[in-house]
Amino acid sequence: MKRIMGAAVLAAALLAGCHTTGQKITTLDPGNSRDQVVATLGRPDALSTMGDFEVYTYLARHRSRMSVTHTDYTVVMKEGHVVQFGPGLARREGLHNVVIVPPES
């Protein structure tokens, strides 16, 4: 019985590692804490501030036979909590707002 439980825990851990950043980011919710973001997505590839906002950027790499491409995913936080997230890069809009600009297709 212990072997079965151990195998189940190992399988769950391995499968959790198979989710892409794009899949994981959809599990976030506005209001999530900084710790919840890091627990879900891991440490960001880049961290910056824009006024009162913290911006976490994650770089997801996509490999194919012929090339490697990437997609940037951004999480914007204010006062330690998520206010917006999604694919693209953050851009400051005015003095008190940050928006995520989606990638070009």
Domain CATH code at residue 55:
3.30.1450.10
Confirm whether 11 is domain-assigned.
no
Region 96-103: mean pLDDT is 93
Number of domains observed in the structure of the chain:
1
Structural domain for 74, as ranges = 21-101
Checking if the pLDDT of 8 tops 70, the result is: no
Domain assignment of residue 8, yes or no = no
Query: What single-letter amino acid sits at 6?
Result: G
* Predicted pLDDT at 2: 54
| Within a domain: 16 | no
Contacts by 99-105 with C-beta closer than 8 Å and gap 24+?
A: 100/74, 100/76, 103/71, 103/72
- pLDDT at position 59 is 92
Judged against a pLDDT cut of 80, whether residue 4 lies above it is answered with: no
In a domain, 13, yes or no: no
The pTM of this model reads 0.76
Q: Is 91 within a domain?
A: yes
- Judge whether 73 lies within some domain: yes
